[in-house]
Structure 1
Amino acid sequence: MATEPEKTIEDKPHSSRGDEKNTHSPYDLNASNNPGNIITQISLRARRKWGFIDGTHTEPGKDATEFEDWWIVQSMIVSWILNTIEPSLRATVAYAENPKTLWEDIKERFSVVNGPRIQQLKADLTRCKQEGASMAAYYEKLKILWDELANCDQILKYTCGGCKYSIGSQLEKRREEEKVHQLVMSFDDVSYATMRSSILAIDHLPSLNRVYTMLIQEERMKTITKSANERGLVVGLAVHVGNKARGEGEHGEKTVTCSKCGKNGHDVKECFQIVGYPKWWGDRPRHK
């Protein structure tokens, strides 16, 4: 009796080859995920773990196959959150095995608008000056204050239906313009006065990143010019010292001239024709 030939891999349906798109589970953890990691909200989203914070991924039943994986991921996220907290504040945070509960507790305690802190940050921005620091170091100091102020004094969000005015984006643009003014008005007057006038003279202020790029370029040009001037000063000093070594005074005049032999570099008291020629003079002529 003839038997049906065995199907090869090529003859099997496409769905049985195992090459369908691989979907990742939120319970997946790889070798780079360890309790010592420091995370942010963005990294939690990138790792598909934000659902454990906002409640999207609910606790499965105790009989579910992923129940153990649920608690493993929960413990891992709790460790990540605790690592992001300052050591001095870590002991004040309530212990919780659920990252959603822990996150909400931290948000409730540290997201409250702090009026005195906002006032202090604004005062620090007013007093912040470049004072000879590099533009990169100075900008970093300002950015730290800006970021903390943005966390304490968040822009209100409008969700009114049918509103055609993007008020939120306008407020964001206004805040960035304030940052530009704070930046250009607080760096050194002597070095960047011309650059400040050029930026403020523009009808529409450039973005903060654009202004920072312009300042970095200006700083590099000043560094190149300063190096060239210093090299010129060194060369001029070497020529000046060389001229003095060849017998010229500070104003270019010759040194003392001997009245006996008429040569420069010694006076009549040191002239060999008067005091006598030394032994090392040898048989050389003893006059001119």
Structure 2
Amino acid sequence: MAGSDSKQTNNSNPAADHTSPYYLNPSDYTRQMHVNEALNDNNYLDWVQEMENFLFAKNKVGFIDGTLKKPEKTDPNHMAWLRCDAMIKGWLNTAMEKEIRTSVKYATSAQEMWSDLQDRFGKESAPRAYELKQLLSMTKQEGTSVSAYFTRLRELWDEITSVFPIPRCSCTGCSCEISKKMSDSRDKERLYEFLLGLDREYSTIRTQILAMKPIPTLLEAYRLVYEDEQQRAVTTGKQTSTDSAAFQAFMKQDGAAAAATQSQTGSKAYKKLNSDKIGHCDFCGKDGHNRDVCFKRVGYPEWWPGKGKPENGRAKAAHVETSSKVNEASQNELSPIPGLNNEQYKQFINMFTVNNSSNVSKPSYGKHGR
């Protein structure tokens, strides 16, 4: 009895029946946005498709295509129809830009508003059709993935289909296949357009597809090209790994050679820097002292080992062990001459002074001298 009462109530009040076009969900309100983008001068085809899908899901298509007429005032569904129509007008207004909304705000019903938009934006436009065809002819893969390239083509094909819909046979029981043949012809045309825009590296798979009997469909050809792309990516990845390993090995060898060269160059630079610091004698040709203190030129001191053997003496003077220098530096005050301590330097100066004094000529007196 309860179920019968409920069914009777639904029949007397269609607005409470979820399957009725007069039903409105409690969460519905007029300022709801049900499309991705508001209607403007350039997106009517996408907009109308989204809006039709939404209204179909809401079971409200009859309000815009004229199949659900406005009931008379005496009809019990009159108020339910008015409420649904007002809700749909609110949805349409919210999904438009302000300029377009202003032009249809005085429409008396959702059907009138829908028809006005269709007359303004839905008619075939020769400039738009030409633009779509031009874009289609210019669309190439150009290094992008096969999937991205096919998606761009698919968007253009869908819009072209909206502008140039395929004629369909509507006769009852017709055995002709006009619609099917036209659909197959369009599919084959798209197949050629897809193959034409592929990059040069897919020339082999393109030739194979065109040589197939019967020729594959568009989706079958897409799968073949996509699989060829995946196989190419695997092969390229292996080659890249091999090239990377070879390059790293080359860089290691080249780095070792560069390090050896740098070491040799640094050693030469170090030697040159030290020779600049300690001086070079242009009299004997040795490093470690200069011309002014060259023993070969000014004479060897008494304490010099191997006195009278200039070559040996010069060699010893030019070569002083580092350990000796460290010991002398720690025990005695360093002298201006490398290799001599302060005491030895004083002896050298005294000897040098004495030798110079003895070489000075004494003044001669005449026979009238003192």
Residue in structure 1 matched with residue 253 of structure 2 by the alignment: 243
Contact 2:34 2:54 survives alignment (8 Å): no
Letter in 2 for 1:134: S
**CA spacing shift, 1:119–1:245, aligned 2, 3 Å:** closer
Match status 1:40 vs 2:64? no
Say which SS state the counterpart of residue 216 (structure 2) adopts.
Answer: coil
Contact 1:75 1:97 survives alignment (8 Å): no
Say which SS state the counterpart of residue 142 (structure 2) adopts.
Answer: coil
Residue in structure 1 matched with residue 21 of structure 2 by the alignment: 26
Give distance in 2, aligned partners of 1:98 and 1:24: 22
Contact 1:180 1:207 survives alignment (8 Å): yes
- Structure 2 unaligned residues grouped into runs of 5+: 11-16, 36-49, 269-318, 324-370
Contact 1:74 1:97 survives alignment (8 Å): no
What per-residue deviation string (whole Å, max 9, x for no partner) do you get for residues 41-67 of structure 1? Answer: 233223211111222322233355543
**CA spacing shift, 1:102–1:16, aligned 2, 3 Å:** closer
Letter in 2 for 1:212: Y
Contact 1:74 1:99 survives alignment (8 Å): yes
**CA spacing shift, 1:179–1:92, aligned 2, 3 Å:** farther
Q: Which has the higher helix share?
A: 2
**CA spacing shift, 1:213–1:33, aligned 2, 3 Å:** farther
Q: Which region of structure 1 is more displaced relative to structure 2, 193-202 or 217-226?
A: 217-226
Residue in structure 1 matched with residue 234 of structure 2 by the alignment: 224
Give distance in 2, aligned partners of 1:130 and 1:276: 77
Give distance in 1, aligned partners of 2:159 and 2:152: 11
Contact 1:125 1:142 survives alignment (8 Å): yes
Residue in structure 1 matched with residue 358 of structure 2 by the alignment: none
Contact 1:158 1:167 survives alignment (8 Å): yes
CA apart distance, 1:18? 5.7
Letter in 1 for 2:218: L
Give distance in 2, aligned partners of 1:220 and 1:213: 10
RMSD: 3.6
CA apart distance, 1:153? 1.5
**CA spacing shift, 1:43–1:36, aligned 2, 3 Å:** closer
CA apart distance, 1:277? 11
Give distance in 2, aligned partners of 1:224 and 1:156: 44
Say which SS state the counterpart of residue 40 (structure 1) adopts.
Answer: helix
Residue in structure 2 matched with residue 136 of structure 1 by the alignment: 147
Match status 1:68 vs 2:98? no
Letter in 2 for 1:37: H
Using structure 2 for the length normalisation, give the TM-score.
0.56
Give distance in 2, aligned partners of 1:76 and 1:125: 39
Greater RCO (Cα-Cα under 8 Å, separation 6 or more):
1
CA apart distance, 1:207? 2.6
Residue in structure 2 matched with residue 9 of structure 1 by the alignment: none
Give distance in 1, aligned partners of 2:214 and 2:170: 29
The count of aligned residue pairs is 248
User: Which of 213, 217, 226 is residue 207 of structure 1 equivalent to?
Assistant: 217
Give distance in 1, aligned partners of 2:108 and 2:182: 39
What per-residue deviation string (whole Å, max 9, x for no partner) do you get for residues 109-133 of structure 1? Answer: 2332223322222222111111112
What per-residue deviation string (whole Å, max 9, x for no partner) do you get for residues 255-275 of structure 1? Answer: 99xxxxxxxx969x97xxxx9
Letter in 2 for 1:184: L
**CA spacing shift, 1:175–1:92, aligned 2, 3 Å:** farther
CA apart distance, 1:81? 3.3
Contact 2:93 2:101 survives alignment (8 Å): no
Contact 1:78 1:97 survives alignment (8 Å): no
CA apart distance, 1:25? 1.6
Please tell me whether Structure 1 or Structure 2 has the larger radius of gyration of its CA atoms: 2
Say which SS state the counterpart of residue 175 (structure 2) adopts.
Answer: coil
Contact 1:93 1:106 survives alignment (8 Å): no
CA apart distance, 1:178? 0.8
**CA spacing shift, 1:168–1:266, aligned 2, 3 Å:** same
Residue in structure 2 matched with residue 193 of structure 1 by the alignment: 203
User: Which of 114, 117, 124 is residue 125 of structure 2 equivalent to?
Assistant: 114
Residue in structure 2 matched with residue 286 of structure 1 by the alignment: none
**CA spacing shift, 1:73–1:121, aligned 2, 3 Å:** same
Using structure 1 for the length normalisation, give the TM-score.
0.71
Contact 2:33 2:94 survives alignment (8 Å): yes
Give distance in 2, aligned partners of 1:94 and 1:24: 30
Residue in structure 2 matched with residue 169 of structure 1 by the alignment: 180
CA apart distance, 1:160? 4.7
Give distance in 2, aligned partners of 1:277 and 1:56: 114
Contact 1:36 1:79 survives alignment (8 Å): no
CA apart distance, 1:185? 0.8
Letter in 2 for 1:209: L
Letter in 1 for 2:24: L
